[in-house]
């Protein structure tokens, strides 16, 4: 049986498009460009004969239990979790240096400050990645990193319960045509960035892992200055089991990685 889901692709337009986050100074208020809901077929990595490879597919899944409780009201868990993620990237990808610069907890609830991102995208354009590198490191250190091999890599984990609805899905980069990408501005109250949206293409090959648990992570490439492809991704509008009432809660951690 083929699994299907609905995703929201971006739409090519003659003018530049943008997302505005926390618009009007209201946390969680999002103004988005036009999106095109589209039904797509999915391959479940849990039932696949071959696992996706970070080297070849820009995404991989791994069993990595955490000792952290994300239910704490403060940020006391961050140092311990950062150490766990640094160990993961050092072990799996032979990273020389890891900087973890953001954690976003998303809850699939209309009243949540951060909801699952339901648009097909990747987090940085090349110019956006270069600017973010400078934002994080400063111009002088960013120039040194740019002379070598660096990447932005995201790590996604369910929290509290296994994912039953709105799982995170990925498009294998080998199935994406260059003209599918759309440059989008990302406007925050205090800064401006650029991301890449994706327009629909029937050749896209979607993959996800069913019923991911808090002991599992997906780690995936967002930008690599040596040419590893960025991977398009989105929350998938689908439900695994209609008898399960848990809502999707997850944490996405953004990392900057330097390789030897």
Each residue's pLDDT, cut to its tens digit, for the chain (260 residues) gives: 579 999 999 999 999 999 898 877 887 787 889 999 999 999 999 998 888 999 999 999 999 999 998 876 778 899 999 999 999 999 999 999 999 999 999 999 998 888 999 999 999 999 989 999 999 999 999 999 999 999 999 999 999 999 999 999 999 999 999 999 999 998 888 888 889 999 999 999 999 999 999 999 999 999 999 999 999 999 999 999 999 999 999 999 999 999 99
What is the pLDDT, as a whole number, of residue 255?
98
Q: What is the pLDDT of residue 30?
A: 78
Residue 245 to residue 247: CA distance in whole angstroms: 6
Kindly report, residue by residue over 62-99, the tens digit of the pLDDT.
Answer: 999 999 988 767 788 999 999 999 999 999 999 999 99
| Residue 56: Cβ within 10 Å count | 13
Please state whether beta strands 181-187 and 17-21 pair in parallel, antiparallel, or not at all (unpaired).
parallel
Structure tokens at 21: 């986050």
Extents of the domains making up the chain: 46-177+204-259
Residue 130 φ then ψ, to 5°? -65, -45
Q: Distance between alpha carbon 241 and the CA centroid of its chain, in Å?
A: 24
Closest by CA position to 82, among listed 65, 63, 96, 103? 103
Alpha helix segments (H runs only) across the chain: 54-57, 78-93, 126-137, 139-146
* Locus of tokens 């990747």: 122
Using CA atoms, how far residue 41 sits from 6, 38, 156, 241, in Å, is 9, 10, 22, 18
Q: Which residues pair with 220 in a beta bridge?
A: 59, 154
Provide the CATH number for the domain formed by 46-177+204-259 in this structure: 2.60.120
């Amino acid at each position: 049986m083929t699994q299907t889901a609905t995703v929201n692709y971006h739409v090519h337009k003659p003018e530049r498009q943008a997302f505005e986050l926390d618009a009007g100074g209201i946390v969680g208020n999002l103004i988005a460009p036009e999106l095109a809901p589209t039904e797509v077929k999915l391959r479940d990595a849990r039932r696949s004969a071959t696992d996706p490879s970070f080297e070849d597919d820009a995404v991989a899944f791994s069993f990595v239990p955490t000792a952290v409780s994300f239910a704490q009201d403060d940020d006391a868990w961050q140092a311990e979790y950062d150490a766990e993620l640094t160990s993961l990237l050092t072990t799996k990808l032979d990273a020389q240096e890891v900087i973890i610069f953001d954690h976003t907890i998303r809850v699939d609830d209309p009243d949540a400050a951060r909801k699952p991102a339901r648009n097909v995208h990747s987090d940085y354009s090349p110019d956006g990645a270069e600017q973010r590198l400078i934002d994080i490191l400063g111009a002088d250190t960013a120039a040194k990193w740019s002379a070598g091999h660096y990447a932005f890599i995201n790590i996604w984990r369910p929290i509290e319960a296994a994912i039953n609805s709105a799982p995170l899905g990925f498009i294998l980069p080998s199935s994406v045509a260059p003209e599918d990408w759309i440059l989008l501005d990302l406007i925050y109250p205090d800064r401006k960035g650029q991301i890449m949206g994706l327009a629909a293409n029937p050749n896209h090959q979607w993959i996800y892992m069913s019923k991911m648990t808090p002991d599992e992570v997906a780690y995936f490439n967002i930008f690599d200055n040596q040419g590893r492809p960025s991977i398009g991704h989105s929350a998938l509008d689908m439900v695994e089991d209609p008898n399960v009432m848990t809502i999707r809660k997850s944490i996405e951690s953004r990392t900057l990685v330097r390789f030897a």
